[in-house]
Chain A
Amino acid sequence: MLNKLFRKLNKDNIRPSEEFEMVLSDNLNETVEMLLKIIGDSNDIVQRDFKIASSESAALFYIEGMSDIDSIEEDVLKPLQELKPEGMNEPKDETLKKAIQDSISLSEIDIFETFDDAILPFLSGKSLLVVDGLAKIIILGTIAYENRGIEEPQSEVVIRGPRDGFVENIQTNIVLIRRRIRDPNLTIQLGKLGRRSKNDFAIIYIKGITDESLVEEVRYRISCIDRATIEESGTIEQLIEDNVLSPFPQILQTERPDKVAAFLNNGQVIILVDGTPFSLVAPITFEQLFKSPEDYYDRWQIGSLIRMLRYSAAFIALFLPSLYIAMISYHQGMIPTTLALSIAGAREGVPFPAFVEALLMELTLELLREAGVRLPRAVGQTIGIVGGLVIGDAAVRAGIVNPIMVIVVALTAIASFAIPAYNVSITLRMLRFFLMFLAASFGLFGIIIGYIAINIHLVGLKSFGRYYTSPFAPYRFIDLLDTVIRLPLTINKKRNDSEHTADAVKQK
């Protein structure tokens, strides 16, 4: 039923025509007039009239700030103006074209015959040259790149591993990947998305490792996107994922080129979008969200230990508050007597049932975290200390919560930070409240109900045709070993989920 609804919502409306039905003329004034009509009233568009070889009048357009003015002066205007007037005789347009091509010292010169083709490159920062007597538009590659320096990504910090991260510029990002995989089979397909924003995006995969039908599927889903603007790769993620109603991320996002290279090598497809450092990886399985590239850089024992620690962290982040609620309200008999007594003593002054108490503290915690993220960095830390220590201590003293609840909440918070993928930790935070509610209603029975319900959901979930819960189910022994612990590199010779890759073996 929902599918029907989505189809209805996505039904292709009549797109407004994007074509400018105008014919180029060889009269300079007419062309300029038309151009001004198209690019309209924007003040940042600079028109520079000049004469080529002091005889042919010409006009150069560029967008202030997007084009490299030095380059325009040095490589375009100067050589053209200093061109010798000799040899400028008939047939006029051919000689002109040749003269211009010969004298301009830029590597990127395109000549277009229609406005449609020329406008898009012009709007992305190239300059546009029209010459009297030439019914063509010359586009000159004078884009000025303004780049943030390549820094370590804030969202995925590692101790051991490369310190470079993606930036907002897609070209730079592609270079970062190419540096890592110098394989001629590395395929990078560029395209544009967004009816108005025309964002550049790239689909990247390694031919011969990635299943062709998977690439086909990714391409198909992306081409189905019809939106005016693509703000971030997250927008694409939501538009191409398999199940919109699921709280679980079905596409992985990362800022790390080394992680991306590893995924490429595993036969997955990467989607890069211009304007954001976050790249998308598809398809993924649930366990891949718990892996950090660092696991593979250290010795395998260390990797294994940290990985098991991470799984327990996920378990704590998801279940600890609900277990606390269940034990306090339903199964007091399970708690050791001395501990039960001390909890009872601590809870003596607390007026609320355990569920309300836990809910209060968890909500406070989420609030603190959200506030900490939004605040300026220096103030953010202060908020952490003030919130954590002062509110926690004051709440206990005021008798709103008991000290053990504070321990539970703090442990949960720390555990949820130990998960490498930010979006999964949010999902677990959300499900935690669901489980807390169930635990408050049915105790341990409620928790197991919640656990089974989550599992049923996960089992039905697919990411680009690949089972989300693999390698647990469908069961793959070697992959499973590399999920729970980290196998030594000398043993693990197959790619993950090798059934879905064209080339299963990654080392001999």
Chain B
Amino acid sequence: MKAGKQQTAYQIGITEMAVSLIAMIVGTGVIVLPRALAVEMDTTDGWITVIVSGGFVMLFVFIITKLQQKFPGRNFLQFLGEGIFGKWLSKLLALSFFVYFICVISFLSRFLAITIDIYLLPQTPTEVIVMILLLLSTYAISKGVQGVIHLNIMFTPIVLSVAFLIIIFEIPEFDLLNLRPIMAEGFIPLFKGLKETLFSFLGIEILFFLMAYMKKSDIRAAPLLISIGIISFLYFSIIIATFAIFGLNSTKVITFPMIDLVKEIEIPGGVLERVEPIFITIWFMSMFNTIAVAHLLADKLLKKELLPFVKGEILTALAVFIIFINTFITKSYTELSLFGQWISTHGGVNIIACILVVFVTLWYRTKKNKTSIQEEQA
């Protein structure tokens, strides 16, 4: 009611950033990854690929952190925007990211709507579910960066512990013979699966934007690498569990392997007959986190970078409308998967383009600075 005097600008701590990274990356990947790998690779070596791509992603995260250390307190768009040429480039990148985030939200909403339709509410129209979801995420982004980050911190521990708990419950059912032979067909399938696993790590692009809210001394790579490690371990255990329980051939035909894993669980004492509704409910929190972060960034991009001259909340409403329409462009789950592939490629290209552009700009500006200093000295 009255303006607090001691309220200072919010800064993301490094732990909070690490947790948010987990919250952003862990989403649909967990549910569909084993099947995608089984179809793509036709072997059970998916777990090796996950470890390899985890290493790759760590490298990416490391590079992004190092780059961000050069311009703390600003995101890369603001950094690029300082040059004449970079200004247009930053607008272009902002547009590309905006489209990407909008599509991510649409994809996730549609995905959630489908799963909820199958497992929780068969009679409720998906439009209603998506609408509620978008209303909720709009409410979440009204609390700003601090609100969304804190939401991530509140939900991620619950989601992670539930996921690992499920896998622990599954251990007695494991049949590790299903995992053999290891690398029977050599290295080629590993490369085939690499694209798929790398895409399931998408979400690291939030580092470009959110690390601008961190203190300079806090921008360190190690905690972020640990969170990538945790995610890799999660994917790794899920893939092992799926293959060990269902075997290669069944995994290929199961749409949502993780949910089917949960179905296998028998709660001791028989307190509950089926637990997958609870799993989906909890998983909704994780999906919601991803959606909220993407929504926040899309909203910020639209307001700050793309249309800074439009005042008021009309842009937020407009963005939500676009997302809602976009969500229902895909008609079926197959189309949605294709859409997902397309988004993933777009996201991957975005990340690599960003790293390259920022790197070149940084190199160019340092060189220019050096020559100007030399000129001054001469």
Which one, A331, A452, A472, A475, contacts B15 given CB within 8 A?
A475
Known: A448-B285, A475-B15, A475-B19. A334 touches B273 (CB 8 A): yes
Q: Is A50 an interface residue (CB 8 A)?
A: no
CB A286 to nearest CB in B, in angstroms, measures 11
Q: Which residues of B contact A475 (CB under 8 A)?
A: 13, 15-16, 19, 153
CB B117 to nearest CB in A, in angstroms, measures 10
Q: Could you tell me the distance between the alpha carbons of A452 and B132 in the complex, rounded to whole angstroms? A: 12
Q: Is B345 an interface residue (CB 8 A)?
A: no
Contact string against B for A residues 415-452, beta-carbon threshold 8 Å, 1 for contact and 0 otherwise? 00000000000000000000000000011110111001
Known: A6-B1, A459-B154. A333 touches B273 (CB 8 A): yes
Which one, B154, B278, B285, contacts A473 given CB within 8 A?
B154
Which one, A242, A330, A459, contacts B150 given CB within 8 A?
A459
Most buried by B among A442, A464, A469, A472: A442
Once the chains bind, are A462 and B7 in contact (CB under 8 Å)? yes
Once the chains bind, are B277 and A334 in contact (CB under 8 Å)? yes
Q: Could you tell me the distance between the alpha carbons of A444 and B272 in the complex, rounded to whole angstroms? A: 14
Q: Could you tell me the distance between the alpha carbons of A462 and B143 in the complex, rounded to whole angstroms? A: 12
Once the chains bind, are B150 and A244 in contact (CB under 8 Å)? no
Q: Could you tell me the distance between the alpha carbons of A452 and B138 in the complex, rounded to whole angstroms? A: 12
Once the chains bind, are A448 and B281 in contact (CB under 8 Å)? yes
- Which residues of chain B in 1-22 are interfacial with respect to chain A, using CB atoms and an 8 Å cutoff? 1-2, 4-7, 13, 15-16, 19
Once the chains bind, are A444 and B4 in contact (CB under 8 Å)? no
CB A260 to nearest CB in B, in angstroms, measures 23
Once the chains bind, are B154 and A448 in contact (CB under 8 Å)? no
Q: Could you tell me the distance between the alpha carbons of A252 and B132 in the complex, rounded to whole angstroms? A: 34
Name the residue on B nearest A211 (C-beta).
Answer: B6
Q: Could you tell me the distance between the alpha carbons of A48 and B160 in the complex, rounded to whole angstroms? A: 80
Contact string against A for B residues 277-298, beta-carbon threshold 8 Å, 1 for contact and 0 otherwise? 1101110110010000000000
Once the chains bind, are A465 and B7 in contact (CB under 8 Å)? yes
Once the chains bind, are B5 and A216 in contact (CB under 8 Å)? yes
Q: Is A224 an interface residue (CB 8 A)?
A: yes
Q: Which residues of B contact A464 (CB under 8 A)?
A: 4, 6
Q: Which residues of A contact B270 (CB under 8 A)?
A: 336
CB B31 to nearest CB in A, in angstroms, measures 16
Name the residue on A nearest B270 (C-beta).
Answer: A336
Q: Which residues of B contact A443 (CB under 8 A)?
A: 120-121
Which one, A211, A213, A244, A469, contacts B154 given CB within 8 A?
A469
Once the chains bind, are B281 and A444 in contact (CB under 8 Å)? yes
Known: A334-B277, A459-B151. A445 touches B6 (CB 8 A): no
Once the chains bind, are A456 and B5 in contact (CB under 8 Å)? no
Q: Could you tell me the distance between the alpha carbons of A453 and B147 in the complex, rounded to whole angstroms? A: 12
Once the chains bind, are B124 and A474 in contact (CB under 8 Å)? no
Q: Is B155 an interface residue (CB 8 A)?
A: yes
Once the chains bind, are B272 and A336 in contact (CB under 8 Å)? yes
Q: Which residues of A contact B142 (CB under 8 A)?
A: 460
Q: Is A369 an interface residue (CB 8 A)?
A: no
Q: Which residues of A contact B281 (CB under 8 A)?
A: 444-445, 447-448
Q: Is A103 an interface residue (CB 8 A)?
A: no
Total number of B residues with any Cβ neighbor in A under 8 Å: 43
Contact string against A for B residues 334-370, beta-carbon threshold 8 Å, 1 for contact and 0 otherwise? 0000000000000000000000000000000000000
Which one, A211, A240, A334, A459, contacts B147 given CB within 8 A?
A459
Which one, B19, B116, B285, contacts A452 given CB within 8 A?
B285
Q: Is B274 an interface residue (CB 8 A)?
A: yes
CB A294 to nearest CB in B, in angstroms, measures 27
Q: Which residues of B contact A333 (CB under 8 A)?
A: 273-274, 277
Q: Could you tell me the distance between the alpha carbons of A6 and B132 in the complex, rounded to whole angstroms? A: 30
Once the chains bind, are A336 and B273 in contact (CB under 8 Å)? yes
Q: Is B271 an interface residue (CB 8 A)?
A: yes
CB B345 to nearest CB in A, in angstroms, measures 31
Contact string against B for A residues 1-19, beta-carbon threshold 8 Å, 1 for contact and 0 otherwise? 0010010000000000000
CB B8 to nearest CB in A, in angstroms, measures 8
Contact string against B for A residues 473-494, beta-carbon threshold 8 Å, 1 for contact and 0 otherwise? 1110000000000000000000
Known: A337-B273, A452-B285. A473 touches B150 (CB 8 A): yes
Once the chains bind, are B13 and A474 in contact (CB under 8 Å)? yes
Q: Is A231 an interface residue (CB 8 A)?
A: no
Once the chains bind, are A455 and B5 in contact (CB under 8 Å)? no
Q: Could you tell me the distance between the alpha carbons of A444 and B121 in the complex, rounded to whole angstroms? A: 9
Q: Is A61 an interface residue (CB 8 A)?
A: no
Q: Is B139 an interface residue (CB 8 A)?
A: yes
Q: Could you tell me the distance between the alpha carbons of A240 and B1 in the complex, rounded to whole angstroms? A: 8
Once the chains bind, are B4 and A217 in contact (CB under 8 Å)? yes
Q: Could you tell me the distance between the alpha carbons of A240 and B4 in the complex, rounded to whole angstroms? A: 11
Once the chains bind, are A456 and B151 in contact (CB under 8 Å)? yes
Q: Is A220 an interface residue (CB 8 A)?
A: yes
Q: Could you tell me the distance between the alpha carbons of A443 and B154 in the complex, rounded to whole angstroms? A: 23
Give B residues with C-beta under 8 Å from A.
1-2, 4-7, 13, 15-16, 19, 116, 120-121, 124, 129, 132, 136, 139-140, 142-143, 146-147, 149-151, 153-155, 270-275, 277-278, 280-282, 284-285, 288
Give A residues with C-beta under 8 Å from B.
3, 6, 211, 213-214, 216-217, 220-221, 224, 240-244, 330-331, 333-337, 340, 442-445, 447-449, 452-453, 455-456, 459-460, 462, 464-465, 467, 469, 472-475
> Which 3 residue pairs of A and B lie closest in terms of their CB atoms, listed nearest first?
A473-B150, A473-B153, A460-B143
- Write 26 A-B pairs (CB below 8 A) sorted by A numbering: A214-B6, A217-B6, A242-B1, A242-B4, A243-B1, A331-B120, A334-B272, A335-B272, A336-B270, A337-B273, A445-B284, A448-B281, A448-B284, A449-B132, A449-B136, A452-B136, A455-B154, A456-B147, A460-B142, A464-B4, A465-B7, A472-B153, A472-B154, A473-B16, A473-B150, A473-B151
